[in-house]
Structure 1
Amino acid sequence: MKRAEESEKLMRVAVYIRVSSDEQAERGDSIRDQKERGIKYIEEHKNMVLQDIYLDDGVSGQKIDRDDFTRLMNHVKEGLVDLIIFTKLDRWFRSLRHYLNTQAVLEKHHAAWTAIDQPFFDTSTPYGRAFVAQSMTWAELEAQNGGLRVADVFRTKVAHGEVISGKVPHGYRIENKHLVLSEEAPAIQDTIFYFLKHQSMNQAVNYLKETHGIIMSVQNFKQSILRNEKITGRYRNNETYCPRLISDEAFQQIQRILDHNSNIKSSQKYPYIFTGLLVCAECGQKMSGCHINSVSKQKDKTVLRYKYPAYECKHHRSFRKCGNGGAIREVRIEEYLMKNVKEQFGTYIADFEAKSKKTADNRQKKNQLQKKIGRLKDLYLNEAITLEEYKTDREELENQLNKLTDIKQPAKNPEAFINMINKDFESMYQRLDNQQKRLFWRSVIKEIRLSKRSGCCREYTIIFL
């Protein structure tokens, strides 16, 4: 009697679909084909009901980071899925390690799976699990051999001077599958020699923008130009891969300068107190740490006396797109906070008491968004919208969903900070090192907005957690 009841129990079945290339569609593994066979399989079993359809399009089976696969595993952990079905084992995984890790999660939450075109796979017995693991080993080997074949093709292309990517550095363009110098080449070459003369990437990037009208970030200039061996004409052991912009000697000199600058920065790391907390009130970008140099004249030499830790808007310094110029010393920010934080925190406490009385139930709104995502998937599966439209609209709906909590909780209780600030706050603060000071301010402040300088003053806006 008990066994009969178990067989009549409805199983919540998830249909998992994955297509990684057009080639699979040609072999009969299209999205529509996998969907129709999955639904037909459920309809042929009276004890099964469709829980949901999970679709990953254009994703390799060797990758664990798949959008709908992640959503499926979350639903398994929530106890919403009893059985997962897919057409073939290679739709599920091609990596033995990922398969074993996932199988452990399924067994923990009492969920099973079936490859409907390969019913001989059975994970309910030790022999069946061993057979599946062995099959996964061969599937992984096949996928890795495919990657080796692609690498061989790339090596052949490079040996013949052909490009293997549509992304090319400034100063080059693609012509007949080969890299040739572009109209930007003289400007890039000029800026490289400017860097060699001044040894400053910030100055070089500004020079490139002001003189030649080409905008690049400091990091992009460093990695795609200065560190790129293609500017010497070489690439992956091909000495004549493309036209060169600079000599080997100049390239080696650039690498020595970059390595030297990196060593200086790594050996002189300063624990900035307000890292991640300061925001430029003009452009909204985070302000980053820097140093203000104090120098003195001794005879015919300029001597560095002190380096004061400070903060500046990088958007202003690198691109001059923000009017909030000039650095502000760290000690000035500390002085302002020690003087004004008590008064401003009083306003925050009043706001907290008002907010703590308000709650918002977002569960109905979340259900509506989830239904919209489901309807969107149906439109794509029925080919009413394109893949790009589906991904764009789904991302927008999921962003809205992620911003909502089921029930909005009251703000964080500031009682601990109130007790501390009412004690001997200043003497306690002076005993902290920079790391401890950073942790302290991060525990009570979300961000500090700094306006541009007006005369000798700036306006501070403190936003508490």
Structure 2
Amino acid sequence: MANNIEKNVDRSIAIYCRVSTDEQAREGVSLDEQQVRLKAYCRAMGWDLTPLVFVDDGYSAKSTDRPQLNKLLAKVKAGELSKIMVTKLDRMSRRLLDLLKMIDLFQEHDVSFISISESFDTNTPSGRLTLQVLGAVAEFERERIRERVFENMIHAAKGGKWLTQSPYGYRLFDKELVIHEEEAKIVKRVYEAYLDKGMGCFAVAKMLNKEGIPSRFNKEWSLRSVKLMLTNPAYKGTLVWNRVDSSKKNRKVKDESEWVSLDECLPVIIDEDKWEEVQKRVNGNQIAPRAVSSPHLLGGLLKCGNCGSGMSIGWSGSKNNRYRVYRCSANKNKGTCTSKQYRADDVEQWFKEGLKRLVDSLDETLVPMIIEQQMEKDLSYIQNRIEVARKRYGRKVEAYSADLITIEDLKLEKDRMEQDIELLNGLKLIQEDQFDIEKIKKEIQKKTSKVLESLDVLTIEDAKSLIYTFVDNTKVLDYGSIVITIKV
């Protein structure tokens, strides 16, 4: 506390005076009179420091962009002031939100704000109480503004208008998106690399940076920027607004049920089916970037057959004879699993042999099992989508109750939810005999052969990317016993 007092003594007192031309004509407000009153108050309070004077002559309170006010705020940020005085609160601003923002800044830098007409001093209990009341009123005003903005944004979104900065691959003309052909080619490459080549977001960003392909503002690509591109529904023609909560310092993606979306209203760069397939991979079990780029073939892919935990790479053996091993992470980190470790070279060889046997053993019993497994995954994915649709509809009911949307908007949302439910029911009706088993068998053989060939000619990193497009996970059960779960 002593240090704070000493710091305040070294800082200056400031007085701020403002008058607009209209006020002078209407009320006869004098800048000289303001200065006299404020300096007299300083003397009455026993503050011997000569105050710094900031005067904005002929400036309205509607805007905070005033020369002397800007200089005053700069001194606050520089820590040069201890008190700021005005004759009335409206000398600073007539807008409550602007005034509270400035007071927040003053408090952040330990500066007292005093208005002598209203006996308002943020350094006193009564002043802080008044500030809390004003803050409550301002919060109410902010909520009212947010509701009006939200309603206007819904109206604009339903008209197909793009409401923010255009995403990569597009340009904005008259609030409508138009495809930028060169960037659209890059977008398609990113989706292809991620879905068809099995590259992760980190690997895609690395590829683009290596080729010298800049992002929109000539910045380098990052894992985050690639993931944002892969999850942006604009590329499949869907306009989505209210997706991100920007009210806090750290922006956060809202629950999908809160989004305002409109399908088939934007120019399409990525086919909808392909976009949905990418979302399945993005929302599924992801391999960490470090696992993808590690020099170990099954890193991030190998699971413990005993407890299901991931198996990490380690080293074993004597000082002169060290060798890689895969070891259950639950065993290593928690001691909760009793599985043993396995030589990495042996496990990777079992994996390759397992793929070879898979090519030779695809028969009319194995393929239906694989189809059933894939159907369960698809069913789980669509059930999650249905739950999102139901939450979104529930939110629209609340919006209708609050007179924010019309009954027509509510009916559209209900139709959309029912279409999703119909899609789910349609999936349930699919029978195994409706699949072309011979075609699926050939496709699996083709993918397996491609992976096997890649293991001998590609780098470990590239080979792993290809494996991830085909293999869901691998479990080691015992010495020489391994299970490979593939994707259809």
TM-score range, shorter chain: 0.3 to 0.5
Q: TM-score, normalised by structure 1?
A: 0.39
TM-score computed with the length of structure 2 as normaliser: 0.38
Higher relative contact order (CA 8 A, sep 6+): 2
Q: Which protein has the larger Cα radius of gyration, Structure 1 or Structure 2? A: 2
